[in-house]
Each structure stands twice: as C-alpha cells, then as structure tokens.
Chains A and B, each alone.
With several copies, the nearest count.
Chain A
C-alpha cells in the first residue's frame, strides 16, 4: 500500500519517478549527472556523444528569446572513446538509470558508438536524430525515413538495451517519422528536440549565434511539444517520453495526460535549478493525490478520452 505513486517504467527501464534530464544539459560528467539525480531526476540522459571528438561552435551558443532559449552548441563532445570512462564512472555513482545519447553521421557510426556506450554501462540509448543545427547528422537523419530506419535497425541489431528515438518537430509529419522508427525497432520515442529558430541583434544587425541558426527550447515550445506527444499517442503504441518547455508540475501533468509515460526537462534546469525535478515530482504527487489516482501511470493519455 505504500507504493510509490511516481514510479514508472517503459521499455524495461524502471524509474523512481517520471522525470528525466534531457540530453545536452549538464550531461558531460558523472558528477553533474549525479547532482541532477540528487535534484530529483528519475533518470538522466547524457550529452549526445559521437564517434569522434567535436569542439562545437564558438560562442555565442545560447541566446535568450522571449520565452525560451535559442541554442546552437554544435554537439561538442569528447567522442565515445573518451566518454566510456565517464559512462563507467556514472554507472558506479548514479542512483538512477543512465541513458546515453548517441549521434553519428551514418548508421554504422550510430551503431559503433551505441555498442561502446553499452559496453561501458549505458542502461539505455537515446538516438539523437533531431538536432537541428549540425549538418549531416541529427535532424538530417530523422527527416529521412530511409536513413532513419537504417540507423534504428542497425543500432537495435548491435545492442541489447532499450533504444529510444528522439524525434524532431521540424518535419511535415511526425507521425510518419514515428512509425518508421517504431517499425525499425524503437522501444520508446522522445518528443521533441528543439524547434529550428534564430536570433538577430538589431544594433549590430548580426545573427547572434555564431552558427547563425539554432534551436528553440523552453516554455515557448511547450504547446508545440504537447501536440506532438498527443498526436504520437494516437499513432503508435510505443511509450512516449515528453520533452519541450517543461518547467512546472502542471506542464509535466499536461504531458502525461497527452500520453507521455515520462518527461524530460532541459531548459528549466537553467531557468530554475537542478532541484526543479524535486519541485515537479512534489507537484505531480500532490496532483495525483488530490485527484484520487494511485499512480502516475493511470493518467497517461487520459486527455484522449474526449
């Protein structure tokens, strides 16, 4: 009877609560991932890691917009051969499932990185096929059904752990992308990555980001992400992890109602702080109690009953 109403699971992963750290936020080191777990996260996703090191773009890489951030980090990462040490260390100290985010420039690369990440201790993988500002990877993969299917299938063939596919909202038909990913073997879907965007400074008349183009995150994109999750829930049976602008427990609950089995939080870690996970969980728990639900799983997708 003292069951934890926040506990949830998907694709074989068991989470103490339905919040997770989104990829690219504080995701380089085991200690900072653990800090986020102390802040209440039920799981963590690492910074996206590729086959070789990447320096990322010069600053400015993040610019404040009206209700969110526009970023173009450029996927800086030490490369999987370095990163395996961090994964191994994280595996030891982390008190929550460790999901390693993977990117590549080809199906082979995705699979290679995936294999090494799993060998080092990743409990699940998230395939970043949705970064909107690095050429020949990210959303350029996710927007092409043929390549997407190949990437997912190859990774699935290479590893035994759950494979989550992170989708881009920058497509005509996300349902189509989702179906392709699921058919190729995706065990869960994360929706969404950032929305293509940019910022220009009127004084200097220059684009602010060194990469000119970036992706919008934060509260601004919440209504967009919510609709993606709602649509996906009607499209696939696969578990959906909601992401995009989630800052408060209310935001999180909206995503559960729309059909998300868990949520990821990114920008709010800066807007608030790493304890934002605790705040969200407290609110969700109070909501469940007030509404008479025994588990967060009971509210997943119920906005569809209408």
Chain B
C-alpha cells in the first residue's frame, strides 16, 4: 500500500446533489481518489463525527463523487453539510470489478447502485449488451434511472419497487430467474444488501454464470490491518470489496449470514 493513499487529505465539498429523499451525491476534489476504478471505495472523514467507507460513484479528472444514504449518525451529519464545508478523504482503497465484455447484467440495490453505475459507464461502449436491474422500496428511492437509461442497452433497465409505485412490484432479485434463463449473460455484477447479494450469487451459480459482487462490512482502518471487516479469510477492505464466485463459495458460511459487530462479536447480517 502506498502511504500517500492512506494519508488524510482535507478538501471542500464542491457540490451536493439530492438523488432521493434519503440519498445525496457529494462531489469532492481529490487527485488520488479521482483515479479510483469502479468498485473501489474511499474513507470519508466527517470532522468531529466519524469516518466511514463509501464506494466511488464517479471519478474524473481531479474529482470524485460518492452517493450516500442517510442511515445513522455519520451519514445524517453528512447530509446536513453544504458545498464549501470541509471533509477528509483517504483512499482509494480495495480492488475493483474486472471489466468484462459480452452480455452483461448488473443488479443494484439501494446505494449499491452507485459503484455499478460507475462500472456501467466504463463498460457501456465495450459491452455487447448491458442490462441493469435496479430496485428500491418505493419510487422516490430508485436511484440513477436517467443515468442508467443513458448507458444501458435499449430497454435494458428493469426497475422494481417493493410497494409497486414504479416498475415491477417485487424485490430486485425476482426478475433475475427469467432474465438469466432467457439470455446467456457473460457476467453478472452486483452490489447492495448482503441478503440480495447472496440470493443472486446462488442464482448465478445455478446458471453457471461468472459473477462479481461488492460486499460491505464494518470498516475501521480500511487498509487491511484491524480485522473489523473480515469475511472468512478475506479482508473486505483490502482483498475486496469485490469478490468473484470462487471466493464467495469459500465464505458461504458467512455470506448473508453473519459479520463482525463493533466489538468483534459475530452478529447476524
């Protein structure tokens, strides 16, 4: 690891964009994070509050964007911050999605859509077909519809809401059975709640399709030191956050089942 990556850089928030009632996108100036590849994450310091891992949603020139859902203390505090206010970043950390070609399917749940959008933008011109299933509880929480429609194959974006306010009324995983049966995809990528990831992993295994998923675990150091984020023998922050099917098979006894809590105790996912 290059220590420069892990050195804390403070930087003003350049812009804030509201994506949904609970989700905002923050754009920061940071040369190092601007070199992030899809799948990598950064550690965002909210001064005096907390430091949390966030996937990179976009990176270009000297700018990097992250898309954040307000779920607790840190993220709610971040949501109250305005352009010009100072945050800290270190990273980018972790590995990235391999960039496949051919027919590609992505499945995004919640803010898990963010790193996949980043990936989709990279693959758009290369992929033979690019489909995206994106789901949320309700219409207003569906993320990046316009952006996804712009990069995916025509009619490639399938939306699901749990309350049926938009698209199909079901979980994001439901349309997958049919999709995978109908088309021989070359690669399925996913990011989102771990139960979703685990379901999709089983499906792709049944269909014998290449698969990569980005996982989330409690993270502290972000550099593979403290052990907070481990799943099986892997450190999500350093060996991941992206894992392929072979690796996920090795950690089946934990995937979607248990993780470490703040005190290092094994708790349900």
Contacts and interface: CB of A to CB of B under 8 A. Distances in A.
A associates with B: yes
Contact of A73 (B220, B230, B234): B220
A248 interface: no
Specify the main secondary structure of chain A where it touches its partner: loop
A78 B264 contact: yes
B10 A59 contact: no
A295 interface: no
Interface in B184-221: 220-221
A269 B8 contact: no
B230 A56 contact: no
A53 B50 contact: no
A56 B235 CA distance: 19
A25 interface: yes
Contacts, number: 121
A77 interface: yes
Contacts of B45: 60, 208
Interface residues of A, number: 47
A29 interface: yes
B226 A62 contact: yes
A136 interface: no
Contact of B50 (A59, A82, A269): A59
Interface string A267-279: 1011111000000
Size bracket, chain B contacts: 35 or more
Interface in A229-287: 266-267, 269-273
A290 to B, nearest CB: 12
Interface of B: 1, 3, 6-8, 10, 43, 45, 47-48, 50-52, 86, 88, 90, 220-228, 230, 232-235, 238, 260-266
7 contacts: A29-B266, A32-B230, A61-B220, A64-B3, A201-B88, A266-B225, A273-B238
Given A63-B8, A76-B264, A306-B48, 19 more contacts: A26-B226, A27-B227, A31-B230, A55-B262, A61-B221, A62-B221, A64-B3, A64-B6, A71-B221, A73-B220, A77-B263, A78-B261, A78-B263, A78-B264, A82-B265, A208-B8, A208-B45, A208-B88, A270-B1
